[in-house]
Amino acid sequence: MADEDIGKLIQTSAEAHEASALPCARVVHTEDDAPRTAEMEPLPEGVAAEPIDKKSPAQWAYERLILYIQNFEKQLDNEHEVAMGFVGGDSGVLGIEGIGYFDPDIVTFYGRDENGARTQLIQHVSQLSVMLRAMPKAAEVEEPRRIGFRLAAVLGKK
Per residue in 71-109, pLDDT (tens digit) is: 989 989 999 989 888 777 677 888 888 889 989 999 989
Residue environment code for 104-117, b if the CB has 16+ CB neighbours within 10 A, otherwise e: ebbbebbbbeeeee
Confidence class of residue 126 from pLDDT cuts 50, 70 and 90? very high
Q: Strand, coil or helix: what is 16?
A: helix
Contact yes or no for 62/110 (Cβ under 8 A): no
Alpha helices, DSSP H, located in 27-56:
45-48
The letter for the amino acid at 129 is S
2 pLDDT more than 80: no
Contact yes or no for 94/111 (Cβ under 8 A): yes
pLDDT at position 148: 79
Alpha helices, DSSP H, located in 33-131:
45-48, 57-74
Beta-sheet strands, E only, within 41-139: 80-86, 93-102, 106-112, 118-124, 130-136
Q: What pLDDT digit, counting tens, does each position of 15-51 carry?
A: 545 544 567 888 887 888 888 888 888 888 888 899 9
Looking at per-residue confidence, does 19 or 121 come out higher?
Answer: 121
Q: What are phi and psi of 93, to 5 degrees?
A: -125, 160
